[in-house]
Structure 1
Amino acid sequence: MSNLHRYRLFVSHAWRYSERYERMINFLDASPRFIYANHSVPEDRAFDRMSVAELKEQLREQIRPVEVVIIIGGMYVAHSDWIQFEIDYAELLGKPILGIRPRGAQVMPAAVTQAADEIVNWNTDSIVNAIRRLA
């Protein structure tokens, strides 16, 4: 039996756009011979009643152990402060950043383009192959 690598991932997301996050997780779950640990906190375990400082520390704890930080470009514009915090922290730790171009989008936010080690289109094979290259 082959020994598959288990990738540790953080998928940046915003609850207003949880359907994109869920689709991303479904892509990863459906990929054959791809095992990963999701270090992102899903909506049903969101941090209620936390101060900004506490929330930032929780995000740091989620990002610290991962091999790749995934940023879905379409979420950046509406949630740039939090996503920029995640990008900045990933860069501080030297974590590779994978930018995902939203389906049908021609343009990615400049902050994501500048930070990303690689940008791929919204499809399972592109995403999984990029994670394997970056990890």
Structure 2
Amino acid sequence: MSKHHHLFISHSWTYGNQYNNLTELLKNRPYFSYSDYSVPRNDPIHTNGTDKELREAIERKIKPCGVIIILAGVYSTYSKWINKEIEIAREYGKPILAIEPWGSEKTSSVVKQAANKIVKWNTESIVAAIRELD
């Protein structure tokens, strides 16, 4: 029986397709079980909450996770929330897995410098890295 992984998948809702593709990829991988602790798109804290409330919500989501996954698209460099997620992950000693988006030529140096491991967009590489870090 394989381990059940508790994952926080960092993402920008502006680039939600990458997040959706990643969760589908993981869901369809045989012999891999996980729970996604990401802040859902329909959570009212995104639109009605303060920065402090959103930070606290992210912190509550990250605390129980074994691995923090960050999509290392170039947009990540300019996201204050992804930077906060990196900061929170470090505070709790959580390993960070950076995934370079499919076909990307430019990726986020901020995310890659924070990562414990960097992989390309490949199911087996991603799953192996999660198992290694968790």
TM range (shorter): over 0.9
The corresponding residue for 1:119 is: 118
TM score, norm. by length of structure 1: 0.92
Question: Within 1, Cα distance between the matches of 2:78 and 2:44?
Answer: 18
Q: 1:134 to 1:17 in 2, by over 3 A?
A: same
Specify every segment of 5 or more residues in structure 2 that has no aligned partner in the other structure, as ranges: none
* 1:51-103 deviation line (CA, Å, top 9, x unaligned): 11001000000000000000001140342x11010001101111000000111
Question: Within 2, Cα distance between the matches of 1:33 and 1:122?
Answer: 19
Runs ≥4 residues deviating over 4 A: none
The corresponding residue for 2:133 is: 134
SS for the counterpart of 2:59 is: helix
* 1:95-130 deviation line (CA, Å, top 9, x unaligned): 000000111224432211111010000121111110
Question: Within 1, Cα distance between the matches of 2:123 and 2:61?
Answer: 23
Deviation at residue 46 of structure 1 after TM alignment: 5.0
Specify every segment of 5 or more residues in structure 1 that has no aligned partner in the other structure, as ranges: none
TM score, norm. by length of structure 2: 0.92
The corresponding residue for 2:30 is: 32
Question: Are the aligned partners of 1:27 and 1:123 in contact in 2 as well (CA < 8 Å)?
Answer: no
The corresponding residue for 1:51 is: 50
Question: Within 2, Cα distance between the matches of 1:54 and 1:82?
Answer: 12
CA RMSD across the alignment:
1.3
Q: Which moved more, 1:67-76 or 1:43-52?
A: 43-52
Partner residue of 1:4 out of 2, 5, 9: 2
The corresponding residue for 2:77 is: 77
* 1:18-62 deviation line (CA, Å, top 9, x unaligned): 111100100100110000011012323352300110010000000
